[in-house]
Structure 1
Amino acid sequence: MKSLRRDAVLMALVAVTVTGFVLFALFEGDPHRQSQVFWCAQVPMDAALAYGAWRLRALVPHYRRFWTAIAFAGSSFTVGDGFQAGYVLLHPAIASTSGTAVQSAFFIVGMLSNVLACLLFPHGLRSARERLVFWLDATTVLVGGGAMAWVFAVYPVTAPADRVTASITAALVVVGAFAATKAALVPRPPMARIAAWPMVAAPVVQGLVAFLPGPFQAQDRSYVFMVLLLPSLLIAIGPRIQERVVRADGPAPAVKRKPYSLLPYGMIAVTFAVFLISLPDDVSTRFWGATAGVVVITALVAARQLIAFQDNVRLIRRLDVALDHLTDQEVLLREQASTDGLTGLANRTHFTDQLQQHLEAGRSPSVLLIDLDDFKTVNDTMGHAAGDALLVEVAERLRATVRADDLVSRLGGDEFTILLPGTGSEDARRIADELQSVLAGHTRASIGVAWARPGDEPATLLSNADIAMYEAKRRGKGTSVSFSDEMGARTAADAEITRDLATAVDAGEFTLVYQPIVSLDDLRMTGVEALIRWNHPTRGLVSPAEFIPLAERSGHIVAIGAWALREACRQVARWRADFPGAYDLTVGVNVAGRQLRSPGFVDEVAAVLRDTGLPPNQLSIEVTETAVLDDEESSAALLGLRALGLRLALDDFGTAASSLGLLLTVPVTTLKLDRSFVESITTVGRQAAVANAVSQMATALDFSSVAEGIETEEQRELIRSLGYEYGQGYLFGRPLPPSQVVARLEALDGVVV
């Protein structure tokens, strides 16, 4: 309401009206001056109606036809009243509020356009029954209004000129009654009540004033001009008020109506009153009795209907209360279905639904996918209760950090997502970095950042964020990475390789090569390490560095590793049978952490040894430090393997964070120094120091020691001087196919390689 009082257009219309009132009073007793002011004041009012309605036709497309008709009516009034204003200015003898034939014609056209507007605008009535009830009520009101107009405006008048004026006045009353009916009965009126009632009141006021006898028929009184000008103000301000309401609150919402309307019953009472007033004085007593009977019976039936309506309303209210209770239960169930039970955040379903809505609305959202680093370690070492407490704490920190419109969700496990509506890549990355700082005191997280592009689906956006999150893991965890097309292309290629890995074992695409392991004292080949190679049917030779991580991530490493173990044991058992010099040859087979944790792995190894005939002490299972780090399942598997009599080697030793602790918990027999400590051992003092420390630990713990990556005689001599027993590297031989290993085996009977 405050904004309406400050509206310049409304203030101007009121100013025109007040100015007219003042001039009417100043020109009291000069009716022709008063009529000039009256008609001149009408023109800006009419123009305001036309202009306001025309603006609303574009602002509210749903009611376009309605406001077009109103704008046309305002234009007709403007032309007609403009002509009349010019006419009275040029003819000072004219002193009347009644228009000429031209003005009346444009007025009638405008009124017909208003009636058309009332007929055109959508009723919001969906069923045929609703439409029937509406038109029955509306017709009742129209008939009652028409009867009243006829009796008061037409019937008492005899002069033809006055009949025209009276008919126009009657039309005003009927249009006002009809507009009021629609505003009262339809669920979706084209105007808010604050804007509609001034426009409805305007024709009613103008029509009723014309019916009143006595002082209001005196055309030379200033208050008559004032009252007759007031409807013009009312009808002019309606569209302007409606425009302000629409711009502030949107189109008028659906109005909840009562199950019944009192308007038709009111019009029945009015019609009976008009009928009784218009009866002649010489009506017979018999007619009065019949008339009284009709009136009383109609009144009683109407009263009975209203009581029935009230009973129905009470019943409907009880049903509404019951439905509200059911609705509360439904809301609770819906909340439970869309909320994560542990953290209270949105769940995957709710998050996906909201993301879909933002994408469809074109709000260009961004998504953060957050995965807690090493969360499994928390559960394994501190228990699931501690893990749950960490998840709740992370959820609270995420919720407290993001903006009010952002949506935080828990997808499951230790994965969280955040929906950032209308946020570009730079802002999304900045928010991700802020979250890293917020979480740093409790845990580390890898965060993938992705933003919507035209045509993206929720699955696409989440997939991009997931790709970026795994890239953050690959870069060392505890960081945020934004998605790029290069990542997507690499992931697509990885997905294709992963798909091909599923059938590679059955298709016989894998082969093993064997790299010699020699005694550093006499350079005799004492063992081999089995290394897998993949001959892809279309890609050719695929590097293990490319497909082994994908095989581990997808789980295909279990089947691939099982094939490699059996094939290596079979091959070495065959060499031992064919070459006496290979009797003590050991074979090292790399085993991934996922293999160790797979159920029945120890039994599987025992079955391979039994089927191939390879003695357990000739098989060395090689595992990396990270594969068995703080892992109870892996440790149990290693204990089972040692119980079979196998050798266990820690491969790439020295590269993990907890190498020394593992020596006390993992039952290893061999330490293999990682090649990174060998490549510059002759020039970098620190590498020589680390290599020396590893050799001393192996000697102290009674472990065998193997140095990897030896490529020069100088490296061999230094490694040997540090106490290492065995060496492996290009100096002693590259990985060889089985046919070339045979040549080495033939020379094992005392021949130095």
Structure 2
Amino acid sequence: MTAPESAADTRPPMGGLAPIVVAALANAGVLVWLLLHDPAEVTYGYFGGPIALAAGAYACFRVIRKPGLARPVRTFWLRMELAALSLGLTAVIALARANNNTGMSIWVAVPMMTGVALLMTAFLGLPGRPRTAVGWLRGALDTVTIAVASGLIFWYAVFDLAPAGTSLADKVVAAVVGVGGVLLLVVVGKAAAAPESVVHPGALRVLMTGPITCVTGTILLIAGDDRSRLALSVLALPLTGAAVCVGAHLQSRALTRPAAISFPARSVFNLLPFVAVVATAGLVISVSAQDMSARQRIVIIGAFLITGCVVARQLLSLRENTLALRGIRRQQDELERLALSDNLTGLPNRTRFLVALGERLDAGQPAAAVLIDVDDFKMINDTIGPAAGDQLLFQVSQRLRERCTSGEMPARLGGDEFAVLLPDGDPVAAETAANRLLLALADPFKVGEQQLLLHASAGIAIADTGEGADEVLRNADIAMYAAKESGKASFVRFEPRMRDDMINHATLAGELRNGIARGELRLLYQPVFDLVTGRLHGCEALVRWQHPIRGFVSPGEFIPVAERSGLIVPLGAWVLREACEQMARWRDQYGDGAVEAVNVNVAVRQLRSSGFVDEVAAVLSETGLTSRNVILEVTESSVVDGWQVQETLQGLHDMGVRLALDDFGTGQSSLSLLRAFPVDVLKLDKSFVDGIADGADRGRLAVAAAVAQLAEHLQLKAVAEGIENREQLERLRDMGYRYGQGFFMAKPLPAADCGALMAADPVRAA
């Protein structure tokens, strides 16, 4: 998702303002009526309440219908809708009893208290820190303290101002409603004072209008004059309805941001129990002082002073606890930052990434993961050194951070592996984002005095229903490896078949491990001929696998599995030993008629091993061969893998082992490579041999001729691979190629058949 699109999505449709307009008109109508009303007719003043609260219930209903809404948010606004309907019923009853309304009637109080209870349930149901038994007890004590104190204040202070003739029932009902309003004010206030919540904080603060008007209205209904009592009677419920409309509108605008749950910090509302104690003590003194003697009043005053000291002592303890908790929270925040962020780059780490992804999935919100891996970073790191490599990774993280749009979260998973969380499940948008992120890494990086050009591979995984964060990230990892296998510097979107392929590869890797141990592998030998004399010159050892159940398994199928799983190392060791042992048997059997050397392919993982040179020396010694009896074939990509490979190749060269550059022309071929690499043989890749017979492909002809001339000038042996017809053989021979191999001369043969060629056409002695 691009930034403009994201911004556009956060704007609600114009229809979302309709409830606010209706509620505002209802309140305006009530205000106009208060200025112009007929004192003998008050019914019209009560019409605003049902209209505004109906608009509030509809606004809540619109929020509930929003797609992708988190469950706690949906539950909160559902309870707010029920509360608005209950208060709307209160407004309808008040309208019906408008001309008889002399106080707080039981008919009005019951639905009003039901609405207050629903409001309180909605706010108490918001997620927060899990409470212990002690926490629940503390909350219950605070509730009782505030309820008793506010009840006493209503009974002894507010009711003293009530007009003569107010019935006891009206006083009790008013006290119950007033106390409920005070408790609701505390609950709503603490929720609104929280730094963050799953519900929009602005909406919570606006909703404080409800309990404030409830408490104020109850007081004025009992103790106010006729004008103020009438004003609050007709305005309290319309104001509450308008507050609900505005709160629902603010929530609708905030639905595109990720839901964040935070635990409330201490606020001024935590002081209300102490305020209640002080107010009650003062009330006791003022009431008792009217009918008591001086000595009794002194005792009461002393009790008040003691209460004040206890309250002051508790306030000091509260302050100390608050300061201590702030310090603990700062430490917790720092520990959380260290635990959830990467030390080198400052980006979120794997744990934080999985938590954020899991939160979106649990909330039913769309998400996608882009996993980015820097191609060939090990080689770069070995070349420039670890310190410079760290600087490079930091610059990569900065590029990703800068190119991420609103709502996207970059993270470093470890090493040279990064990930970006996308708040969108659209495949096209995810591919656009992946392309944008890879392009961000395409410009050169400056590390010290060096300019480095990087490229990276990326895997995209769209979160599907029922998937967990680990599974989504694993799918992105599978897709990233598919991108690397397809040529690197690209991105691939995950498809379910890739997981099946991965499982098949893992299964095949297990069977291959067992096949090596059980001796299911065998070697075939493809002869290499002298194109001038037609005689046998050498042979290349090729591994084959005859599976007891699968049958013949193609090398193109199991060699990539061996390389990915690491089995290429024991497999390569087996091939080297088996080929050398066969070479020793040929020399014993045919003497000078045997080929001088056998070619063995070596994987890059073998060359990375510091003990590979010693391994080759040990095999040659145990089989009785010399370094001239084996030629190791390596690919161009393995030659430039890093300093470890360079040291291994130089060690083999110093030992006298000849080295062949296989598939020459398909990789990073250059003159500097040939100068740095101790090469003895160049093997022209089959792709340049195909089609050169008819001369139609002038590009292939030019490359093939250039390789032959290059080998001649550098005094290297040139071998053409994949010769399939006489025309190709003759054209290559005319170009200057002395040696070649291919199906036209001979297919890969068992050791006995290859030995028969040596016996039938002995190699001329050097």
What is the TM-score with the length of structure 1 in the denominator? 0.81
Q: State how far apart, in whole Å, the 2-side matches of 1:364 and 1:259 are.
A: 42
**How is 1:161-560 mapped onto 2 (pairs within 5 angstroms)?**
165-171=166-172, 173-175=174-176, 177-183=178-184, 192-209=207-224, 224=226, 226-248=227-249, 256-258=269-271, 260-267=273-280, 269-270=282-283, 273=286, 288-289=292-293, 292-442=294-444, 443-560=454-571
* Kept after mapping to 1: 8 A contact 2:524/2:541: yes
* Residue aligned with 1:398, SS: helix
Shift of 1:446: 2.0
Shift of 1:720: 2.9
Are the structure 2 counterparts of residues 538 and 79 from structure 1 closer, same or farther at C-alpha, using a change threshold of 3 Å? farther
Q: Which residue is 2:195 aligned to?
A: none
Per-residue CA deviation, residues 7-34 of structure 1 (Å, 9 max, x unaligned), is: 553553453454355344xxxxxxxxx4
* Kept after mapping to 2: 8 A contact 1:533/1:542: yes
* Kept after mapping to 2: 8 A contact 1:494/1:550: yes
Q: Which residue is 1:579 aligned to?
A: 590
**How is 1:675-714 mapped onto 2 (pairs within 5 angstroms)?**
675-684=686-695, 685-714=698-727
1:427 maps to amino acid: A
Are the structure 2 counterparts of residues 235 and 55 from structure 1 closer, same or farther at C-alpha, using a change threshold of 3 Å? farther
Shift of 1:606: 1.4
Per-residue CA deviation, residues 504-536 of structure 1 (Å, 9 max, x unaligned), is: 210212110011122223322232111001122
* Kept after mapping to 2: 8 A contact 1:4/1:241: no
Q: Which residue is 1:212 aligned to?
A: none
* Residue aligned with 2:518, SS: coil
Shift of 1:313: 1.4
- From 80, 93, 97, the equivalent of 1:76 is 93
Q: Which residue is 1:108 aligned to?
A: 106
Per-residue CA deviation, residues 694-752 of structure 1 (Å, 9 max, x unaligned), is: 3333333333332222222333333333333322111221001123224323313589x
Q: Which residue is 1:41 aligned to?
A: 44
Q: Which residue is 1:220 aligned to?
A: none
Q: State how far apart, in whole Å, the 2-side matches of 1:258 and 1:606 are.
A: 83
2:273 maps to amino acid: Y
Q: State how far apart, in whole Å, the 2-side matches of 1:98 and 1:480 are.
A: 73
Q: Which residue is 1:743 aligned to?
A: 756
* Residue aligned with 2:273, SS: coil
- From 648, 651, 657, the equivalent of 1:640 is 651
Shift of 1:401: 1.5
Are the structure 2 counterparts of residues 23 and 341 from structure 1 closer, same or farther at C-alpha, using a change threshold of 3 Å? closer
Q: Which residue is 2:662 aligned to?
A: 651
Q: Which residue is 2:447 aligned to?
A: none
* Kept after mapping to 1: 8 A contact 2:536/2:762: no
Are the structure 2 counterparts of residues 300 and 447 from structure 1 closer, same or farther at C-alpha, using a change threshold of 3 Å? same
* Kept after mapping to 1: 8 A contact 2:459/2:492: yes
* Residue aligned with 1:302, SS: helix
Per-residue CA deviation, residues 549-592 of structure 1 (Å, 9 max, x unaligned), is: 23223221110000011111111211222234644442111111
* Kept after mapping to 2: 8 A contact 1:145/1:267: no
1:111 maps to amino acid: A
Shift of 1:403: 0.6
2:106 maps to amino acid: I
Structure 2: gaps spanning 5 or more residues: 1-16, 62-75, 125-130, 192-203, 253-262, 445-453
What is the TM-score with the length of structure 2 in the denominator? 0.80
* Residue aligned with 2:517, SS: coil
* Residue aligned with 1:650, SS: strand
Q: Which residue is 1:27 aligned to?
A: none
2:472 maps to amino acid: L
Q: State how far apart, in whole Å, the 1-side matches of 2:541 and 2:239 are.
A: 90
Q: State how far apart, in whole Å, the 2-side matches of 1:189 and 1:65 are.
A: 22
Shift of 1:183: 4.3
Q: State how far apart, in whole Å, the 2-side matches of 1:258 and 1:395 are.
A: 46
* Residue aligned with 2:412, SS: strand
Q: Which moved more, 1:41-50 or 1:558-567?
A: 41-50
* Kept after mapping to 2: 8 A contact 1:593/1:627: yes
* Kept after mapping to 2: 8 A contact 1:514/1:737: yes
- From 6, 22, 30, the equivalent of 2:36 is 22
* Kept after mapping to 2: 8 A contact 1:80/1:107: no
- From 695, 716, 719, the equivalent of 2:732 is 719
Q: Which residue is 1:138 aligned to?
A: 147
Shift of 1:68: 6.2
* Kept after mapping to 2: 8 A contact 1:707/1:727: yes
- Structure showing greater Rg: 1
* Kept after mapping to 2: 8 A contact 1:142/1:174: yes
1:244 maps to amino acid: C
* Kept after mapping to 1: 8 A contact 2:515/2:521: yes
1:139 maps to amino acid: V
* Residue aligned with 1:127, SS: helix
1:520 maps to amino acid: L
Per-residue CA deviation, residues 600-633 of structure 1 (Å, 9 max, x unaligned), is: 1111111111222233322111122222126332
Are the structure 2 counterparts of residues 295 and 185 from structure 1 closer, same or farther at C-alpha, using a change threshold of 3 Å? farther
Number of residue equivalences: 686
Q: State how far apart, in whole Å, the 2-side matches of 1:267 and 1:397 are.
A: 62
Q: Which moved more, 1:109-118 or 1:477-486?
A: 109-118
Are the structure 2 counterparts of residues 321 and 248 from structure 1 closer, same or farther at C-alpha, using a change threshold of 3 Å? farther
* Kept after mapping to 2: 8 A contact 1:347/1:410: yes
Are the structure 2 counterparts of residues 499 and 598 from structure 1 closer, same or farther at C-alpha, using a change threshold of 3 Å? same
Shift of 1:373: 2.5
* Kept after mapping to 2: 8 A contact 1:56/1:239: no
Q: State how far apart, in whole Å, the 2-side matches of 1:189 and 1:136 are.
A: 16
Q: State how far apart, in whole Å, the 2-side matches of 1:505 and 1:234 are.
A: 87
Q: State how far apart, in whole Å, the 1-side matches of 2:116 and 2:537 are.
A: 103
Q: State how far apart, in whole Å, the 2-side matches of 1:720 and 1:21 are.
A: 111
Q: Which residue is 1:93 aligned to?
A: none
Matched, 1:663 2:674: yes
* Kept after mapping to 2: 8 A contact 1:149/1:170: no
* Kept after mapping to 1: 8 A contact 2:22/2:55: no
* Kept after mapping to 2: 8 A contact 1:345/1:410: yes
1:474 maps to amino acid: E
Q: Which moved more, 1:473-482 or 1:397-406?
A: 473-482
* Kept after mapping to 2: 8 A contact 1:467/1:483: yes
Per-residue CA deviation, residues 328-373 of structure 1 (Å, 9 max, x unaligned), is: 2332232122222222222222112111112222222122222223
Structure 1: gaps spanning 5 or more residues: 25-33, 86-96, 210-215, 217-223, 280-287
Q: State how far apart, in whole Å, the 2-side matches of 1:199 and 1:704 are.
A: 98
Shift of 1:136: 5.0
Q: State how far apart, in whole Å, the 1-side matches of 2:149 and 2:648 are.
A: 91
* Residue aligned with 1:316, SS: helix
Are the structure 2 counterparts of residues 294 and 76 from structure 1 closer, same or farther at C-alpha, using a change threshold of 3 Å? farther
Greater relative CO, 1 or 2 (CA 8 Å, sep 6+): 2
* Kept after mapping to 2: 8 A contact 1:259/1:313: no
Are the structure 2 counterparts of residues 743 and 65 from structure 1 closer, same or farther at C-alpha, using a change threshold of 3 Å? same
Are the structure 2 counterparts of residues 706 and 598 from structure 1 closer, same or farther at C-alpha, using a change threshold of 3 Å? same
Q: Which moved more, 1:562-571 or 1:528-537?
A: 528-537
2:480 maps to amino acid: M
**How is 1:57-72 mapped onto 2 (pairs within 5 angstroms)?**
60-62=77-79, 70-72=87-89
2:706 maps to amino acid: A
